[in-house]
Each structure stands twice: as C-alpha cells, then as structure tokens.
A and B are shown apart, each in its own frame.
Chain A
C-alpha cells in the first residue's frame, strides 16, 4: 500500500483510493465501512470503505476475508494483496485522520468529538463512492456506538441506499471485513514508518501497540515528553493518557478558553505583560493617575520609565 500522499504531510487528513472498477459504475453495489486505530494514543485513525457488485459477493467471500482483528499482520497484508488483485470488481478508499487532526479537532474551542469526527469520515467516504459513480444499493457499517441512531442518520443522509449498522459487522459481512483489512493495513504501515516532522534525530520506534495500557507505549510516552512542547504530532494530545502525563510532567499552559477558577484566571491576566519578567515592586504614592485614552488601553500599550 502506497502511503506517500499521506506521508507528504502527515499533520492533516488524507484520502487514498484504488481505481474504481468499471463494473461498479454499471451494476448494483454493496459497500462496507470499518475503522482501524480508534483507541490508541499514537498514530492516525483510519476509516476504510470497500465496495463490489452485489452479484460478486460470493467471489469476495471466496477470498476468505475475515475480521482484521482475528488475523495476523502477515495475513492482513496477504489479503490486501488479494483484494488488490481483485481490482476488476473490488474498489476501496481510505480516510486517514492524522493524530494532529484528532488532537486539534477534539481540543477545538467548539469541541468536535471523536464520534462526530468518525461519522463525518464515514459519510465523506460514502459520498466519495457516489461521486465516483458507484451504483450503491447496500451499505454495511461496523460501529462501537449505538447502532440504531447511526443507521438512521446514514439512511437519511443517503436516501435510496439500504444502510445496515451492526456491532461486529466486520465479522458478519465480508465486504466490511475487506474494508477493515484495508484500514488496518494502512494504519499499521503509517505507525510503523511514521515520518516524524519534528527534528528529533533517530526516534525509538519501539512504541508498542499504541494502546494506552501497553507498557511499551507508556514508556515511550515518558521518554519523548518535552516539558514545553509536550509531544511530537504523532501523539494524540486529546487522549487522557497524554493529558495526565503532561499535567504531571510538563509545564502548565493556559489558554483563554480554559475552564478554570475565575480568581486564578484574573491573577494571571494581571501578570501577562512581557514586562512582568522585569517587574519590581510598584512605586507607592502614585495617586493622581491620568485616565489613559482607549487607543492605548485597546492595544494594551503603556508608557514605561523602567524595565
């Protein structure tokens, strides 16, 4: 799988796709959706779709695709090659959500949570297939959340398409298994060969599974913690694992939209001037202060006679 388009800028979201088989533009098709890498604190989350004509479901089944989680990495690679060989009737597309996209979305002023992010990625991929002219009739989706609501949302969004949302759909429907293999292979490659944008020299790539409870991941997170910047963009800052470590080991950072005790915020506000580095006790007895023109107050400009 060629991830160069993503690696060219792994701070943003990226779409990768196979060519669309001609037969998918003329025959009724089914499409499966699955994700890989939702839980880990490291690396991207990948959304995948796979589609083929409804009449070719049996051919797909014969490729022996299965839920990607039950397969070894080598088996997944192998199955992905088989899917690639079946490009005469199978197409796929991926949406790679970079860890930086996940962090900045979830930590946005107006929070954009992981569920919304996931749903939008899935919807974007189905729309992509439709835009390519794929004759979609059935969509099968794997979900960890409440299936009914999601099914309703997708059905409304794509009238004329029969949407089935099921937990464990990746082991029930071969087309979803196929999507899960594409997504997982991309996620594995992206994590294994992560191109660090930061100038960190040789980075220890022994970061384990990326799941917060993996001891290797934990010790990697400790090793690469910077007291000021926190982490490279490979880490999802919005994960509680990362936040907890930063809270205890990095210097505190305050933003104007932080929810904090009002008094504390006010105390800091009085202290934000660059000149506070040089501040000394203010001279007493300076009672007749002139009111400053708002030109200056609006710009926080003040006249100084000492540093």
Chain B
C-alpha cells in the first residue's frame, strides 16, 4: 500500500527571476501566517556590535547569529499555488524566493554550537561521509 499516492509538484522559477529573501528564525511562535512589516519594524532595529547581533521583538531581547546553509544546499520559500480540494489531487507549490543563509535568534542568550538548529546543520556533511565508499 502506497503511503501517499499523490504528488507534490515544485515549480522552480527560472534562476534569475527568483528573488532572494532575508530570513529570521525567532525563538517564539507567532500566530500569523502571511506578510509582515519586517523591513519597517525589524531590520532597521537590528544592532551589530562585536559580531553580536541584538534586536528586540515584542519587548523581549534577542541575540542572533548568521547561519550559512551547508555547502550545496539552498533554502527555498515555497508557496502553495492552489490548495488541493481532496487528498487525491496533486499539490502544486512554487518557489517564491530563495535564501542562502538566515539569522538564528535566541531569547536573551547568544546562539551556541550546542543549539539544535546549529547542530542540525552538520547532518548533510555527515550523511555524505556515511554514504561515501570506504577506501582501504
């Protein structure tokens, strides 16, 4: 029995058309799915001193660090073109923008290499090594 019979189609825009976006990963749940005034409220208030980024969100202090994707990987922001009306229909999503790095924010403490997000970036490299043929 197939786990899922329908397919998700990802429409890639042509490379030059897709715009790059600035991505921030915040340490909270925002009950909002849609556009936000990031460029008006957030980006201008980010301060950078001695390699430490600081900002505040809803009155809480955040400390951040730039995270670059593992080599060979690109971040995609996908948007559903049309919601399927049933389980049987294929889904179509399109790439609305791409990103090569993002800012990872922690509440009050600076991000460290022990943080889950930072640690998970090691997986692609590890996976590659595991799959590589063993030389004698």
Contact = CB atoms under 8 A, between A and B. Distances in A.
Interface of A: 9, 11, 100, 103-104, 107-109, 197-200, 226-230, 232-233, 236-238, 242, 246, 251-257, 268, 272, 277-278, 280-281, 283, 285-286, 295, 298-301, 305-307
Contacts of A268: 29
Given A9-B47, A255-B107, A256-B27, A307 B37 contact: no
Q: How large is the interface on B (under 10, 10 to 19, 20 to 34, 35 or more residues)?
A: 35 or more
Interface string B89-133: 001010000000000000110000000100110010000000000
Contacts of B33: 277
Given A109-B107, A307-B8, A233 B56 contact: yes
B31 A252 contact: yes
Contacts of A295: 123
Contacts of A242: 59
24 contacts: A11-B45, A108-B61, A108-B108, A197-B45, A198-B41, A199-B40, A226-B40, A228-B32, A229-B57, A229-B58, A252-B30, A253-B31, A253-B57, A254-B28, A256-B27, A256-B107, A278-B93, A283-B3, A286-B3, A295-B123, A298-B116, A299-B116, A299-B119, A301-B120
Contacts of A257: 107
B42 A229 contact: yes
Contacts of B32: 227-228, 251
B29 to A, nearest CB: 4
Given A232-B41, A256-B107, 16 more contacts: A11-B47, A103-B60, A108-B108, A199-B44, A226-B37, A229-B36, A242-B59, A246-B58, A253-B29, A253-B57, A268-B29, A277-B33, A278-B93, A299-B119, A306-B3, A306-B8
B39 interface: yes
A74 to B, nearest CB: 34
A176 B113 CA distance: 50
Interface string B5-34: 000100000000000000000011111110
B85 interface: no
Contacts of B135: none
Contacts of A104: 56, 59-61
A255 B28 contact: yes
Given A104-B59, A254-B29, A307 B107 contact: no
Nearest to B10: A307
B87 interface: yes
A109 B28 contact: no
B3 A300 contact: no
Greatest chain B CB density within 10 A among A108, A228, A246, A252 is at A228
Contacts of A108: 60-61, 108
A198 B57 CA distance: 12
Contact of B28 (A253, A283, A305, A307): A253
A307 B116 CA distance: 22
Contacts of B116: 298-300
B134 interface: no
B56 A251 contact: no
Given A104-B61, A246-B58, A228 B44 contact: no
A278 B87 CA distance: 13
Contacts of A227: 32
B4 interface: yes
B119 A298 contact: yes
A228 B91 CA distance: 29
Q: Considering the complex of A and B, which 8 residue pairs feature the smallest CB-CB distances, nearest first?
A: A237-B59, A103-B59, A104-B61, A229-B41, A299-B120, A228-B36, A251-B32, A254-B29
B31 to A, nearest CB: 5
Contacts of A200: 40
A256 to B, nearest CB: 7
B44 A198 contact: yes
A197 B37 CA distance: 14
